[in-house]
Amino acid sequence: MTRIRVGLLGLGVVGGAAARLIDAQRHRWRRQYGLDISWRRALVRDPAKPRPVDAAGRLTVDPAEIVEAGDIDVVVEAMGGVEPAGTYVLRALRAGKRVVTANKALLAERWEQLQEAAAEAGQRLGIEGAVAAAVPCLAAFEQVLAAAQVERIDAVLNGTCNFILHRMERTRASLAEVLKEAQALGYAEMDPTDDISGRDAARKGTVLSLLAWGRRPADVQCRGIEDVTPADVAAARDAGGHLRLVVSLEAPAGGEPRLRVGPQVLPAGHPLAGLEGPDNGLCIQARPLGRLFLSGPGAGGDATACAVVGDVIRGTLARPAGSKLVVICDEREATAAAPGPGHRAADDPLAAADRL
């Protein structure tokens, strides 16, 4: 049994849901994967606040008790913002922890620095929860799409805006009215500026550009939904379409990636047009596979917690970064590559991992 002790930076919507998920699924993971995952401690601002889980004796206001603690193996950053989250992530990597983060603002701003620090530490950052929550789009880029040439991505990546536009379409209400409803249901933050302005979607687009082409978009244009009126939504519907906040990325052959964020009228048959409520979706055009469409819950604590904790599990089950990948080409090479008599199970970092 391999023991994974998680330290949470943040115990809000995402951190709280991750803690709840770990408490609820721990026994299944022990049986299914031979992993004993527990959360040991959580960093918060206000320890007196009510929490969605039993956190007695496990809250701290001192980040060192997580990022540099000897009894923490994986740090889950779910506090948000660029600082101090960025500094804590770097400290955790330097202290030899694996790090998982759902923080697109941090990734979009500090990608190169974080990836470099992770590589120096021989780790890979877990980032699945940062774009489109539970939709496994980053896994797709690391696997199937790693072998393909991505030409274009069109995506709906902001659950708040999708909820608002979809609801305006249904009810003919104004943006302000629907925004209040979204806030009451937990689909929009009290300060929704980052979502409504398109900035949040642009950050996620930047992360996708880095994954698809290894480069930041050279040209970014971003428009939000602040000025969308019920008349705009009705005009789109009368024309047989649906108004959505669309993130479009393309990289002309050999050229720099371009990122556009803005409201677009999509024809009714377009896969992104059918996304309802806070769902997210991505249409990815790549050679030679054609078009890939991924969709699902794009926001919310439980959906994001599955992506985040999935990264904790996957990162443990996968071969550690830096291990040599042996591509076996024929039988003679296969024989040569097989572990020889000198191979000891203890050489395998996973086998050598902490055992219960």
Ligand X SMILES: NC(=O)c1ccc[n+]([C@@H]2O[C@H](COP(=O)([O-])OP(=O)(O)OC[C@H]3O[C@@H](n4cnc5c(N)ncnc54)[C@H](OP(=O)(O)O)[C@@H]3O)[C@@H](O)[C@H]2O)c1
**Among residues 11, 168, 246, 309, the one that binds ligand X under rule CB under 6 A:** 11
**Among residues 78 and 265, whose Cβ is nearest to ligand X?**
78
- Active-site residue numbers? 204
Q: For residue 38, give the 3-state DSSP assignment.
A: strand
Residue 13 binds to ligand X (criterion: CB under 6 A): yes
Q: Cβ of residue 304: shortest distance to ligand X, in angstroms? A: 4
**Among residues 129 and 263, whose Cβ is nearest to ligand X?**
129
Q: Cβ of residue 98: shortest distance to ligand X, in angstroms? A: 18
- Count of residues interacting with ligand X (CB under 6 A): 23
**Which residues, at least 6 apart from 18, have a Cβ–Cβ distance to it below 8 Å?**
6, 8, 39, 76, 78, 305, 308, 309
Residue 160 binds to ligand X (criterion: CB under 6 A): no
Please choose, out of 11-19, 150-158, 287-295, 329-337, the segment that lies near ligand X by the rule CB under 6 A.
11-19
**Among residues 15, 126, 224, 281, the one that binds ligand X under rule CB under 6 A:** 15
The dihedral region occupied by 297, where left means phi > 0, alpha psi between -120 and 50, and beta the remainder, is beta
Residue 133 binds to ligand X (criterion: CB under 6 A): yes
Cα 319-322-327 angle, rounded to 5 deg: 70
**Among residues 87 and 229, whose Cβ is nearest to ligand X?**
87
Residue 79 binds to ligand X (criterion: CB under 6 A): yes
Strands (E), the chain: 2-9, 35-43, 59-60, 74-77, 98-101, 149-156, 219-222, 241-250, 258-267, 279-287, 290-297
Other CB atoms within a 10 A radius of the CB of residue 13 amount to 20
Please choose, out of 10-18, 107-115, 177-185, 256-264, the segment that lies near ligand X by the rule CB under 6 A.
10-18
Please choose, out of 99-107, 280-288, 310-318, 348-356, the segment that lies near ligand X by the rule CB under 6 A.
99-107
Q: For residue 278, give the 3-state DSSP assignment.
A: coil
Give how far the C-alpha of residue 143 lies from the chain's centroid of Cα atoms, to the nearest Å.
Answer: 16
Site for ligand X in 136-155 (CB under 6 A): none
Q: Cβ of residue 248: shortest distance to ligand X, in angstroms? A: 21
Residue 225 binds to ligand X (criterion: CB under 6 A): no
Inter-residue contact 322 to 178 (CB < 8 Å): no
Residue 14 binds to ligand X (criterion: CB under 6 A): yes
Site for ligand X in 21-50 (CB under 6 A): 43-46, 49
Inter-residue contact 293 to 2 (CB < 8 Å): no
Please choose, out of 6-14, 207-215, 232-240, 324-332, the segment that lies near ligand X by the rule CB under 6 A.
6-14
Rg (CA), the chain: 22
The DSSP 8-state label assigned to residue 252 in this structure reads -
Other CB atoms within a 10 A radius of the CB of residue 339 amount to 10
Q: Cβ of residue 46: shortest distance to ligand X, in angstroms? A: 4
Question: How many angstroms separate the CA atoms of 70 and 252, rounded?
Answer: 48
- The enclosing H or E element of 332 equals helix 331-337
**Among residues 35 and 141, whose Cβ is nearest to ligand X?**
141
Cα 57-72-127 angle, rounded to 5 deg: 110
Q: Cβ of residue 55: shortest distance to ligand X, in angstroms? A: 10
Please choose, out of 97-105, 145-153, 160-168, 224-232, the segment that lies near ligand X by the rule CB under 6 A.
97-105
**Please, what is the angle between helix 301-317 and helix 13-33, to 10°?**
40
CA quadruple 315, 103, 95, 321: dihedral positive or negative?
positive
DSSP β-ladder status, 241-250 and 149-156: antiparallel
Binding mask 293-322 for ligand X (x = CB under 6 A): ------xx---x------------------
**Among residues 46 and 331, whose Cβ is nearest to ligand X?**
46
Residues that bind ligand X (CB under 6 A): 10-15, 43-46, 49, 78-80, 84, 102-104, 129, 133, 299-300, 304
